[in-house]
């Protein structure tokens, strides 16, 4: 599938059927005490309980099982700070094919360990997007593996959208949906699902103030690629992809910025009230509800807890 093709809702439905034998249908959790604190009715889609510990398995699995046999036999390659790499490694293992993962120096140790545990071949590189992309292209040329980009691949976006698909079909009448945003795979797929299943729903993306390229991109009307990320949310440091930025505009997504201190406070609340361990890149979605309280007060809000891989 060419990387410039925008996915649609039919692609999400097809992805849901394709990954059903392999991915978990994650639970939706509630907390009355968090509802009281937020002044809203919160429904948490628990993707930290997904295989490989994050929603990323959905997109990786859809991409891997979309391949024809000849392409699959040559394996897959990606670059990732952790969750997507682990997800692709596990997805490749479900099909019995090789995965190559380019990992930047400084990646979270637990995430790198997961990539190795799932049997992928690791390739180290400098901690920049340019270095990651160059290394992945080098591996692709050497091996013939198919590149499965962490967020600009339409197959990945469609797979990520299956989490919101499940949430919206399980919980009727949501007024708002909140997901984190980094490269934009999750919010892109989620927004597509939301617009198809609940056209009137407000869709929000939570982004670290120290890595607010998606916010700036929407404000300026063009992608912003010169921001150097400074945030504890290691999974949200990627620059919004071109196809993902297009989906933000097409689906009328609003980006909400959140400071790291507020994200860490939300992470602690999730541990205390839901008894769930999530990473900062996940907790930011709840933090956005607290920080931007006026947007959510009195509303039924779906929150996608994206991952739980944290040191």
| Alpha-carbon span 244 to 185, nearest angstrom | 7
Compute CA distances 138 → 21, 116, 145, 270, whole Å. Answer: 33, 20, 10, 41
Angle 205-210-216 from CA coordinates, rounded to 5°:
55
Compute CA distances 81 → 10, 192, 301, whole Å. Answer: 30, 25, 29
What are the DSSP E strand ranges found in the chain?
Answer: 28-29, 41-46, 76-79, 99-104, 121-125, 146-147, 176-180, 202-208, 254-258, 300-305
CB 65 within 8 A of CB 84: no
| Alpha-carbon span 183 to 153, nearest angstrom | 11
Angle 210-44-265 from CA coordinates, rounded to 5°:
40
DSSP conformational letter for 3? T
At 59, list the tokens.
Answer: 């997109």
Sheet of 99-104, strand order: 121-125, 99-104, 76-79, 146-147
Supply φ then ψ for residue 304, to 5 degrees. -95, 115
CB 28 within 8 A of CB 44: yes
Active-site residue numbers? 56, 81
CB 193 within 8 A of CB 220: no
Give the contacts of 100 (CB within 8 A, at least 6 positions apart).
Answer: 75, 76, 77, 78, 120, 121, 123, 139, 143, 145
């Amino acid at each position: 599938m060419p990387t410039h093709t925008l996915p649609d809702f039919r692609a999400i439905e097809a992805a849901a059927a394709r990954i059903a034998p392999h991915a978990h249908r994650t639970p939706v959790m509630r907390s009355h005490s968090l509802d009281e604190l937020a002044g809203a009715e919160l429904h948490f889609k628990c993707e930290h309980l997904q295989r490989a510990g994050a929603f990323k398995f959905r997109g990786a699995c859809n991409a891997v099982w979309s391949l024809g046999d000849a392409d699959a036999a040559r394996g897959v390659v990606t670059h990732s700070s952790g969750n997507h790499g682990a997800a692709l490694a596990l997805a490749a293992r479900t099909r019995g094919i090789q995965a190559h993962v380019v990992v930047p120096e400084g990646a979270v140790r637990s995430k790198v360990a997961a990539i190795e545990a799932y049997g992928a071949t690791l390739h180290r590189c400098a901690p920049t997007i340019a270095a990651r992309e160059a290394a992945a292209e080098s591996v692709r040329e050497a091996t013939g593996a198919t590149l499965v980009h962490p967020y600009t691949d339409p197959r990945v976006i469609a797979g990520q959208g299956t989490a919101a698909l499940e949430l919206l079909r399980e919980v009727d009448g949501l007024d708002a949906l909140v997901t984190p945003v980094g490269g934009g795979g999750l919010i892109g797929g989620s927004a597509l699902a939301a617009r198809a299943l609940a056209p009137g729903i407000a869709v929000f993306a939570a982004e670290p103030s120290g890595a607010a390229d998606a916010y700036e991109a929407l404000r300026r009307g063009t992608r912003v690629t010169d921001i150097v990320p400074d945030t504890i949310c290691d999974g949200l440091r990627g620059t919004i992809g071109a196809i993902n930025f297009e989906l933000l505009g097409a689906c009328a997504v609003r980006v909400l910025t959140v400071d790291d201190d507020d994200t860490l406070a939300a992470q602690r609340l999730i541990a205390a009230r839901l008894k769930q361990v999530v990473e900062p890149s996940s907790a930011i979605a709840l933090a956005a509800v607290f920080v931007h309280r006026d947007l959510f007060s009195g509303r039924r809000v779906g929150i996608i807890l994206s991952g739980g891989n944290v040191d």
